[in-house]
Structure 1
Amino acid sequence: MTLDELLRGEDLAIGNADLVVRGLTLDSRKVEPGFVFAALPGVKVHGRDFIPKALAAGASAILTDAPVEAPVPVITVPEPAALLARMAARFYPRQPEHIVAITGTNGKSSTVEFLRQIWAGAGLEAACLGTLGVTRGNTVEVTGYTTPDAVALQAALDRLAGEGVTHLGMEASSHGLKQHRMDGVRLSVGAFTNLTQDHLDYHPDFADYYASKLKLFTERLPANGRAVINVDSEWGGKMAETARARGLDVLTMGWRGADLTIREITPRPASQSVVFAWRGREHALDIPLVGEFQILNALGAAAIALADGVDEASVLATLKTLTGVRGRLEKVGETAEAAPVLVDYAHTPDGLDKLLRAARPHTRGRVIVVFGCGGDRDASKRAKMGVIAANQADHVIITDDNPRSEHPALIRKAILKGCPGAEEIADRAQAIRRGVTMLRAGDCLLIAGKGHETGQTVGDVVHPFDDREQGRVALAEREAANV
C-alpha cells in the first residue's frame, strides 16, 4: 500500500506519496524497513525521542504532532494518534461485520465474554477482545492490554474477519478512547456497565475519566448506532441522556432499566435465581454465577444480543449455562470442609465492595479477604479500600500487589489506615497461605486484586506470580498437613 492510499481523504500534502508502506508502528523497537513510525506524545516521554532509532531501523516516514527534521516524509498533524488509527484501518481493511464495544469501570471483561457465549450459542461466529486477550471458542490469545494500540487492534480485527468471525465484542477502556486507539473501528453497538473511581493516576480528575468513557457514545459510535446502557447509576442516566440527544437508538437495562428490567435476584449456593423482564415479557431462570454484579454483566450481554435480534429462546438457554471468566470470582478449589477459595480482579473501591457483598449471601461462616493496592497508581483509593474491607469482611489480610517503584510497606500502611485491625503479611504467597489455613467449614476466602494476572511487579521486574496457582498450592499443603 502506498503512503497516498493510507492518507486518502485526509486533505494532507505529503511529498513522495507513492512511497510503498510495509507496515505501521508506534514502537521504535518494531520498526522495519518501509515502516511508518508514529512518534506520539506519551504520559512520560514523547515518541519523537525515538525517531533517530526508528530511522536507523529503516523507517520510511514519520507521523508526529510537531515539525521535525528527517530525511523521509514527515506527516505532522495536531492529533497523530487519531490519524494513526485511521491509517491502520486502511492498512488492515477487514473487520467483523458486527462489532460491539463495552465501556465502564467494572464488568467489561465478563460482559464481552458472556456476549461471546450467547452469540456462539446462537450459532454465530463470535469472538471477544479485551483484558484477557482475544477469545474465540476454546482458544485465548493474550494481548496484555484492555484496548490494544491502534495498529495491533486493527491487525487483530483484520485477522479475525479473515478467519470468519462475524460478531465481535470488545472492551473500550478510558485510555483507549482518550488516546484514539479505536478511531478506525466500525462499531455497531456501544454499551455501558458502570462508573466508579479508577485510573486517576492517568486521568487528571473524575470528570476527565467520565468524559473519556462518554466518547464511545459521542464520537465512536456512528449516527445510526445503538447504545445499551445500565442506568442504575447517575452516570448511566447521564450517558443515556447524551446518547439520546445525539439521536442514537438507546436501550436501557438494570434494576431501573426500561427495556430489560431486573425484578429479583436470589442467591443459591453456586448460582442465582433471576427474574427479569425483556420489553415487558417476564422470565425466571437460574444462572450459574455467584454475585449480583455477575448477573448484571450477564443480563447486559443478554440485552445487547436481544436488541440485535438474537433468538430469545437461544439467549435464555445460554444464560442457564454461562461459564464465568478467568480471574473473576473464579473458584480455584476448596478445603475438605468445602470452604471455597475464590480469586477476583477487584482492585478498586467499588470492585472490592461488590466482591465482598457478592460473597456474603453464599457464605454461612466468615468472609476472609486477602488484598493489596498497586504502586504508582491512584493512592487515594488505598484507605478507602481498607475501610470497605473492614466493614464487609470478617478477617482482612493486607499484602503486596504490584508495588512497582513504591515502597511496599508504605502502600500497606496507607491501606491499614482504613482497617487498622487487619493482619499484615507482606509476602503475597504467605498471605494466601495464611488465609487458606484459617478456613473453617462455612467460610470463604477471597483473594482480590490480580485475578487472571500472572506476575508481581516489583520495581521494573515482573516476577512470576499467579493468585490461582498460589491458592491451589496452599490448599494442597493444607490437605497434606491434615493427612
Structure 2
Amino acid sequence: MRLSQLFALCGTSQPLTDDPDILSVTADSRRAGPATLFFALRGVKQDGSAFIAQALSQGAAAVIVDHETAELDAATPVIVCPDAKHLLACMASALAGPQPSCIAAITGTNGKSSTADLLRQLWVLQGHRAASLGTLGLISDTDVPPPPSLTTPDPVSLSSTLAALADKGVEHVALEASSHGLEQHRLDGITLTAAGFSNLTRDHLDYHLTLEAYRTAKLRLFEDVLPAGGIAAVNADMDTETSAALKAIADRRGLKLRSVGQNGTTLRLIEARPTPSGQILRLALHGKELSEITLALPGRFQADNVMLAAAMCWNDDAEALEVLSLLPHLTGVHGRCERAVALPNGAAAYVDYAHTPDALDCVLSSLRPHTAGRLVVVFGAGGDRDRGKRPLMGAVAARMADLAIVTDDNPRTEEPASIRSEILAACPDALEIADRRSAIAAGLEALKPGDILVVAGKGHEQGQIVGTEILPFDDRLVIRELAGAA
C-alpha cells in the first residue's frame, strides 16, 4: 500500500516528496526493514529519533517523527507529524486487515481483567466465538499466539492479534484498556462497539503524576476511541467527578449510557447476599426488580464486575433478560479472589491481584461476610512504582484484617526493606516477613477453624521481580504446596 493511501485511510494527508510502498509499520528500529515505515516516537525513557539512522540503514522506506529534532537534517527522508502515535495505531490497523466485528474495551483502576473475562464468558454462553485480551494474556479457543504481555499491547501487536482472531472466526473480543495504553493512543486503530468504566482510584501516579491526569487518560476511551453512538457502560458508584465527566461526554457524543451498581439506572443492585460458595443478587433492570440470581463468585466487587460485563453484552434492551439469565453460569477469573485451597478445619486461602489501596479494601471487605472466624492478609507493594499508595495499603490492612503480614511483592530495583517500612508505618502491629513464601507459610499456620487467608498483590502472576530478574513464583501453587494440596 502506498504511503499516501495509508495517510488517506487515517483521514489525513501529508505533502510527500516520495510515495513508497509500505508493507509494515513499527516503532522498534530493530524491526525496521525494506518497505517498513518507522515511527520515531518520544517515550518515557528514550527518544526514537536517536534510532532513525539505524532504521534507515536497515532499509526503512520512510520515517515519521512526532517532533522536530536536532537528529534530522535536510537529507533525511522524514515526515514530522505531531499526532504520530495516533497515526501508528491507525496505519497498523489498516495494514493488519479486518478485525472482529464486535470489540469491547474496559478501563478502570480495578476490575478490568475480571470484567473482560466475564464478558468473554457471556458471549461464549450465547454461542459466539469469543476472546479476551489483557493482563491475563490472550484467552481464546484458537491457536493465535498471544501478543507481548502488557495490559494493552502496542498498537502493531494489538492490530495483528485482532486480525488473526478475525481470520480464525472470532468475532467477539473484550480488551483491557489501560491508562498507559490510552494515553499512548494504542487503541486508536480499533473500532469499538462498546466501552466500560469500572472505577477510578489512586494508581499509576508514578507515570501520570496526578489523579486528574490519570482520569483524563481513562476518559479518552469515551472521548476519542469509542465511536459516537456506541455503548458506554459505567459503574454508577464511582466518584462523582468521574461520573459527571462520563455523563457529559455521553451526552455530547450521543453514547448509549448504561449505568450499573447500587446507584445504577440501567441495572441496579438491590442486595448482594453472601453464601458459602458465592452470593445471591437482587437486581432491578430499568427499575423493575428481577428474580434472584445465584452467582458462583465470592466477593461483593464481583457483583459490580458481572453487572458491568452484562451491560456491555446486549445490543438492545430486548436482549437484556437473556443475558442476565446466563449470570449463574459464570465462573471465577484466574487470580481474582480465587480460592487456592480449603483446609480440613473449614479455613480457606484465596489469592487476589489487589495491589492498590482500593482493591485491597474491596477484596477484604468482600470476603469478610464469608468469614466465620478471622481475616488474615499477606501483602506487599511493588518497587519502582507509586510510593504514595504504600502507607494507604498499610492503613487498609490495619483497619480491615485481624492479622496482617507484610512481605515482599515485586521489589524490582528498590530496597525491599524500605518498601516494607513505608507500609508498616501505617500498620505497626503487622508482622514483617520479608520472604514471600515464608510469609504465606506463616499466614497458613495462623489459620484457625473458619478463618480466611488472603494473599494479595500478585494474583495470576507466575514470577516475582527482584532487581531485574524474574524469579518463578506463583502464590496459588505455593499455597497448595504448603497446605499439602499440590
Q: TM-score, normalised by structure 1?
A: 0.94
Within the candidate set 89, 92, 95, 2:96 is matched to 92
Q: Distance in 2 between matches of 1:70 and 1:467?
A: 56
d(CA) in 1 for partners of 2:48, 2:166: 31
1:31 paired residue number: 32
Name the amino acid aligned to 1:110.
S
Q: Is the 8 A contact 1:229 1:240 kept in 2?
A: no
Which sits farther off after the overlay, 229-238 or 130-139?
130-139
Q: Which residue of 1 aligns with 2:132?
A: 128
Aligned Cα RMSD in Å? 1.9
Q: Tell me which amino acid in the other structure corresponds to 1:78.
A: P
Kindly, what percent of the aligned residue pairs are identical?
46
| Secondary structure of residue in 2 paired with 1:38 | strand
CA distance in 2, matches of 1:31, 1:400: 40
The match for 2:193 is 188
Give the aligned partner of residue 302 of structure 1: 310
**Structure 1 residue 27: Cα displacement:** 2.0
Shift of 1:240: 2.1
Pairwise CA distance, 1:73: 3.2
Classify the secondary structure of the residue corresponding to 2:448. coil
* Contact 1:93-1:158 at 8 Å conserved across structures: yes
CA distance in 2, matches of 1:434, 1:146: 32
Where do 1:96-115 residues align within 5 Å?
Answer: 96-115=100-119
Residue ranges of structure 2 left out of the alignment (5+ in a row):
none
Match of 1:452 in 2: 460
Distance 2:262 2:135 in 1: 27
Deviation of 1:257 (Å): 0.8
Give the structure 1 partner of residue 63 of structure 2: 62
> Following TM superposition, by how much is the alpha carbon of 1:141 offset from its aligned partner in structure 2, in angstroms?
3.6
3-state SS in 2 of match to 1:256:
coil
8 A Cα contact 2:4 2:14, kept in partner: no
SS of the equivalent of 2:264 reads: coil
Structure 2: distance between partners of 1:142 and 1:347: 24
How much does 1:377 deviate? 0.6
1:206 equivalent among 204, 211, 214: 211
The answer as to whether partners of 2:142 and 2:168 remain within 8 angstroms in 1 is no
Mapped to 2, the partners of 1:20 and 1:454 lie a distance apart of 43
Question: Which residue in the other structure is 1:387 paired with?
Answer: 395
Match of 1:7? 7
Identify if the C-alpha distance between structure 1 residues 31 and 454 changes in structure 2 by more than 3 Å, giving closer, same or farther.
Answer: farther
| 8 Å CA contact retained: 2:147, 2:153 | no
What is the distance in 2 between the residues matched to 1:356 and 1:138? 36
Shift of the 462–69 alpha-carbon distance from structure 1 to 2, 3 Å rule, reads: farther
SS of 1:154's partner is helix
Aligned to 2:436: 428
Instruction: Output the CA distance in 1 between the equivalents of 2:341 and 2:17.
Output: 63
Aligned to 1:339: 347
CA deviation digits over 1:228-255, x for unaligned, max 9?
1111121234312332233222121111
Whichever residue aligns with residue 265 of structure 1, its letter is: A
Q: Which residue of 2 aligns with 1:172?
A: 177
CA distance in 2, matches of 1:340, 1:171: 30
Whether the 8 Å contact between 2:107 and 2:178 is mirrored in structure 1 is yes
Deviation at 1:307, TM superposition (A): 4.6
**Letter matched to residue 254 of structure 1:** G
Query: How far off is 1:71 after superposition?
Result: 6.7
Task: Kindly report which structure 2 residues correspond to 1:395-414, keeping only aligned pairs within 5 A, or say none.
Answer: 395-414=403-422
- Partner amino acid, structure 2, of 1:267: P
Which amino acid in 2 is paired with 1:241?
A
Moved more, 156-165 or 375-384: 156-165
> Residues 213-224 of structure 1 correspond to what in structure 2 (within 5 A)?
213-224=218-229
Paired residue secondary structure (1:378): coil
Structure 1 alignment gaps of length 5 or more: none
Structure 2: how far apart are the matches of 1:33 and 1:456? Answer: 39
In 2, are the aligned partners of 1:121 and 1:315 still within 8 Å (CA)? no
State the match for 1:40 in structure 2: 41
CA offsets 1:153-204 (integer angstroms, 9 cap, x no match)? 1111111111112222111111111111111111111211110000001002
Closer, same or farther in 2 for the Cα pair 1:308/1:160, shift >3 Å? farther
1:159 to 1:71, Cα distance in 2 relative to 1, 3 A: farther
Query: Structure 1: which amino acid aligns with 2:252?
Result: A
How far does the alpha carbon of each residue in 1:18-43 deviate from its partner, in whole angstroms, 9 at most, with x for none?
A: x2223222122333433222211111
Query: C-alpha offsets along residues 253-284 of structure 1, whole Å, 9 cap, x if unaligned?
Result: 11111111111110001110000011233221
Tell me, yes or no, if the aligned pair for 1:272 and 1:287 is still in contact at 8 Å: yes
Q: Tell me the SS of whatever aligns to 2:476.
A: helix
TM-superposition CA deviations, 1:352-378 (whole Å, max 9, x none):
000110111001111111111011111
Is this contact kept in 2: 1:134–1:143, CA < 8 A?
A: no
Q: What is the CA distance between 1:431 and its match in structure 2?
A: 1.0
Q: Please, which moves more after superposition, 234-243 or 171-180?
A: 234-243
Change (3 A) 1:151 1:138: closer
The answer to whether the 8 A contact 2:26-2:38 is kept is: yes
Alignment match, 1:240: 247
Distance 1:474 1:272 in 2: 29
Give, in whole Å, the separation in 1 of the partners of 2:250 and 2:374: 44
Pairs aligned (count): 477
Q: Helix, strand or coil for the counterpart of 2:188?
A: coil
**Which amino acid in 2 is paired with 1:126?**
A
What amino acid is the match of 1:185?
Answer: I
Is 19-28 or 350-359 further displaced after alignment? Answer: 19-28
Q: Look up the equivalent residue of 1:34 and give its one-letter code.
A: A
Indicate if the aligned counterparts of 2:113 and 2:134 stay in contact, CA closer than 8 A.
Answer: yes
Give the C-alpha shift of residue 143 in structure 1. 3.6
One-letter amino acid of the structure 1 residue matched with residue 155 of structure 2: A
Between the aligned partners of 1:149 and 1:196, the Cα distance in structure 2 is: 25
**Cα distance, 1:421 vs. partner?**
0.7
